[in-house]
Amino acid sequence: MARLISPKDTFTENPLDELTGLAESAGTHVVAGVLQRREKPDPKTYLGKGKIAELRSLVEMHSADVVIFDNDLSPGQTRNIEKEVGTKVIDRTELILDIFASNARTHEARLAVELAQLEYSLPRLKRLWTHLSRQSMGVGMRGPGEKQLEVDRRLALRRIHELKMDLQKVERRKEREVAGRRDYLKVSLVGYTNAGKSTLMNTLTAADVEAVDKLFATLDTRTRRWNLPSWGPVLLSDTVGFIRDLPHRLVASFRATLEESRQADLLLHICDASNPSVLDQISAVYKVLHDLEIDEKQTVLVVNKIDAPGAEERLQVVQNRYPHSIAISAKSGKGLAELTSHVSSMLSEDFVTVSLKLPLSDGRTQAWLTKVGDVLSKQYNDDHLEVHVRLPARHAGRLAREGHDLHVLSGALPKPQPEQSWQERLPTAGKVFNGGIERALESPDEEVA
């Protein structure tokens, strides 16, 4: 393994620890690592001549099959390094794509991974093939034809177009699925990979989602009903984990998968108190949320694994920077009561209490009110039913738009908004708790107040 780091970079752990975890998730056995501090990468071989020579000697000593860089390499740099060290070279993006490919289970995830892999491989086709002679063309097979490389590139471009069309269909279907859940409030789990999101979901919902100590074990969004005490059901979604320098191709390809987070009423940002780089990971997740344009959603920072060795000291550092964070242990259940209470409180901020008159025969609306709100009282009259109900403001706004006889007792109805597709619907208001995106993007080595 190899990595080039800036002289200004500071680390609280071995800079190659995360790359080691990624490599092990991909099924490789790590034998050695090389670091170099350098202002700018060498344009030809990324590392300097001395480090390339050291890397070559390590490859020969351990009979290594592959060299993995924790940086993104250009196609030319990859070819040059392979010539120097005498073995296959892959960069960080290619490694992450390989892990995603091995963990993809659903049709949607496979489409997204294949698209990202093809877009990554397109400028690198030249080093993948050796049959680059020209094909014979024309009547009588006269003259040079098209290079095999050009044929391969055209086929790859055609496949990329097909995958994008398929993913657009998936996105439209996902939009309909999310729209079908509009009666429920939605909470989405986001966070760094292996922070414990799936374990927390299993604990809260008995979802039986696979939860293993492995990077990117979850690629597909799973949604389950979460019954909040003294509240009622909300929908809880577990999403793909984020990572530092997440390849942009993956972010674009997994847009449909991340739709649950884009449409969520509340985000639970799970971080790992047992990781020495927890502050770096929190900042990395907020940066990805910013790239996805969902950083303005209401967010609760949840510090998980507080009972792990060494977590107590790091928990204090996190809470100093993010004083509104909530400390839990998804495995033991510690802190979950405070979490559920806090979630209920935040979801209640956008509620109104209304008095509604309904025809006695309108059983459908009565059942819907019971499902989406808290019915406080019912009074039957000769020709109508008067209901006092507490429910989300957007549902009360829907009743008003449908022309029901509605009186607001507390709170306020939302202002009418034009209907938009999810692609057009960007966050324009909301709150970011625990310091916010601006604070999260500050340097991780900033002195904690």
Question: pLDDT of 83-119, one tens digit each?
Answer: 999 999 998 888 888 887 877 777 877 888 888 888 8
Residue 217 has pLDDT above 80, yes or no: no
**Cα gap 16→356, rounded to integer Å:** 61
User: Residue 22 is encoded by which pair of tokens?
Assistant: 């990624």
Whether 418 has a pLDDT exceeding 90, the answer reads no
The mean pLDDT of 241-258, rounded to a whole number, is: 69
Question: Which residue is it, tokens 């997440």?
Answer: 246
Is the model's pLDDT at 132 over the cut of 90? Answer: no
Say whether pLDDT at 408 is over 50.
yes
The pLDDT assigned to 419 comes to: 47
Residue 239 has pLDDT above 50, yes or no: yes
- 327 pLDDT tier (thresholds 50, 70, 90): very high
Q: Examine the pLDDT at 441 and tell me if it is beyond 50.
A: no
pLDDT at 52 over 90: yes
- The answer to whether the pTM exceeds 0.75 is no
pLDDT for 425 equals 37
55, 47 Cβ separation under 8 angstroms: yes
- Whether the per-residue pLDDT at 290 is higher than 60: the answer is yes
Residue type, 261: S
Percent residues over pLDDT 90 in the chain: 16
Is 394's pLDDT higher than 80? no
Is the per-residue pLDDT at 81 higher than 90?
Answer: yes
Tokens 């509620």 found at: 351
What is the mean predicted confidence (pLDDT) over 305-326? 90
User: When comparing pLDDT for 110 and 429, which is higher?
Assistant: 110
Q: Residues 1-11: pLDDT tens digits?
A: 777 776 656 55
CB atoms within 10 A of CB 39: 7
The count of residues in the chain is 449
pLDDT digits (tens, 9 = 90+) for 254-277: 665 666 777 788 899 999 998 888
pLDDT of 18 reads: 81
Tell me the pLDDT band of 423, cut-offs 50, 70 and 90. very low
* The pLDDT value given to residue 288: 80
Asked whether residue 69 carries a pLDDT value surpassing 60, the answer given is yes
pLDDT at 145: 46
Assign 3-class secondary structure to the chain: CEEEECCCCCCCCCCCHHHHHHHHHCCCCCCCCEEEECCCCECCCECCHHHHHHHHHHHHHHCCCEEEECCCCCHHHHHHHHHHHCCEEECHHHHHHHHHHHHCCCHHHHHHHHHHHHHHHHHHHHHCCCCCCEEECCHHHCCEEEEHHHHHHHHHHHHHHHHHHHHHHHHHHHHHHHHCCCCCCEEEEEEECCCCHHHHHHHHHCCCCCCCCCCCCCCCCEEEEEEECCCEEEEEEECCCECCCCCHHHHHHCCCCCHHHHCCCEEEEEEECCCCCHHHHHHHHHHHHHHCCCCCCCEEEEEECCCCCCHHHHHHHHHHHCCCCEECCCCCCCCHHHHHHHHHHHHHHHEEEEEEEEECCCHHHHHHHHHHCEEEEEEECCCEEEEEEEEEHHHHHHHHHCCCEEEEEECCCCCCCCCCCCCCCCCCCCCCCCCHHHHHCCCCCCCCC
pLDDT of residue 84: 93
Better-scored residue on pLDDT, 365 or 151: 365
Q: How confident is the model at residue 124 (pLDDT cuts 50, 70, 90)?
A: confident
What is the residue-averaged pLDDT of the chain?
78
